[in-house]
Structure formats: structure tokens, C-alpha cells
Chain A
Amino acid sequence: GAGVSQSPSNKVTEKGKDVELRCDPISGHTALYWYRQSLGQGLEFLIYFQGNSAPDKSGLPSDRFSAERTGGSVSTLTIQRTQQEDSAVYLCASSLGILGVYNEQFFGPGTRLTVL
């Protein structure tokens, strides 16, 4: 596709439910990043994938958060037992690589998650 796409664009869920957020990166981009944008915390890194390497999960806020990337392309961010503090916009970005000019990250439109 022309850019990074994310689905759904909006998700409303009840506290305690699980949610899955999807990201389709730009074709050929080997690096994929998830960020979270919330009122209290600003923009914060969650996790990244690079090629076939093990993902860097250092930004995940709790073990309720997990992500996978299948076939080096599509990624799914899963939040289990959602809490109200998980309400935020979840942004996905992809880049050609992780070094130098290859690290220019292109962002998707985001998924706005609301936990009631």
C-alpha cells in the first residue's frame, strides 16, 4: 500500500475485555514500531520489530500487552484485560531499517482505544 495502515480506527471496549490492534506497514519496510499517545504520558515507545530478530519489548507497560509480527509484515498489538488507563491512541510506524537514513519512520493514522 501507499502508507502505513491501522485498523480499527476507533475501538471502544469494556474494562476487562481483550483487544487486538492491527498494523500494516509499508511494503518492504523491515522495521516496525508501536507507540502510544495519551494525555498524561505524551508519545511513548512500546515495542519494535526488526526483520527476524527478537522484538524489543522494553516499552511495554505491563504483561497485559503483547505484540507479534507475522511473516515480517503485519503486526498485531494485543491488550488483555483492558484497564481505563489503557485508553489512548496507538500509533504504528515502519521504516526501511533501523540505522541512519533508513530509520525514517512513517506513521499510520492510529487506533483510538477507549476503555469504559
Chain B
Amino acid sequence: AQSVTQPDIHITVSEGASLELRCNYSYGATPYLFWYVQSPGQGLQLLLKYFSGDTLVQGIKGFEAEFKRSQSSFNLRKPSVHWSDAAEYFCAVVVYNQGGKLIFGQGTELSVKP
């Protein structure tokens, strides 16, 4: 069955430091992958997506992610974190033989310290 794993429940980084959030997926075919961000009391906002082509994808707010098929990973990165990046981040895979529903990871909560 398809699944997404985010190994880190909570991460704390200093403002200005680099960030990498891990995501591993299990999917039989070429996956279509997403990263969403959720600020407190808000809905989900799409950061970036991977459908095909270049394995390094750029998103909004300075985020990028790299698809590595050999490692079944789609890690999210940012070179310099801002205090406003504190939020919860969700990785998701689309299940195309089931109407495009999303399977989400458990989420990683990011805290940013001054």
C-alpha cells in the first residue's frame, strides 16, 4: 500500500540556519509528490510539487525539494530559515488509481529559535 513517512516529528533550527525535512514514500509507480505547509489555525498551502522531469524542484518562499527515486525520498530544503517559517510541514503522495486522493505523512513541526 502507498504510504508516506516523515521521520522527524519536531525539528528546531536557529534563524538563518539551513533546513532539511525528510520524507520517504512507498509507491509502486512513479510518484507525484507534494509538500504542504500549515501555519497555526490555517489550511494547507502548497509549497512545491513534483510530477516529472527535473528532480530538483523549486517552490515558494525559497523552498526546494529533491526527488531521489533510488532512496524513495523527497526531502524539503531551505538554505536560510526565517522565523516566519515556523509551521507544520506535510509531505504527500497522490494515489492516481484512486481518484487522485492524497496520502499524507504525519507532519513535521518546525520551530525557529532566534
Assembled-state Cα–Cα distance A63/B107 (Å): 28
* Interface membership of B19, Cβ < 8 A: no
Which one of B59-67, B68-76, B79-87, B92-100 contacts A?
B92-100
**Identity of the chain A residue whose Cβ is nearest the Cβ of B95 in the assembled complex:** A45
- Asked if B100 and A48 make an inter-chain contact with CB atoms under 8 angstroms apart, the answer reads yes
- Contact in complex: B98, A33 (CB < 8 Å): no
The reply to whether A42 and B100 form a contact with Cβ atoms under 8 Å apart is no
Kindly state whether residue A83 has any CB partner on chain B within 8 Å: no
Kindly list chain A residues whose C-beta atoms are within 8 Å of the C-beta of B92: 43
Query: Total interface residues on B, using CB and 8 Å?
Result: 23
Name the CB-closest residue of B to A35.
B102
B49 touching A110, Cβ below 8 Å: no
> Which one of A44, A99, A110 contacts B43 once the chains associate, using CB atoms below 8 Å?
A110
> Contacts A107-B44, A109-B42, A109-B43 given: A42-B106 contact, CB under 8 Å?
yes
Which A residues are closer than 8 A to B by beta carbons?
A: 4, 31, 33, 35, 42-45, 48, 50, 56, 58-59, 91, 93, 95, 97-101, 103-110
21 contacts between A and B (CB under 8 A): A31-B99, A35-B102, A35-B104, A43-B104, A43-B107, A48-B100, A48-B101, A56-B99, A56-B101, A59-B101, A91-B44, A98-B96, A98-B100, A99-B96, A99-B100, A101-B51, A103-B94, A104-B46, A107-B36, A107-B43, A109-B43
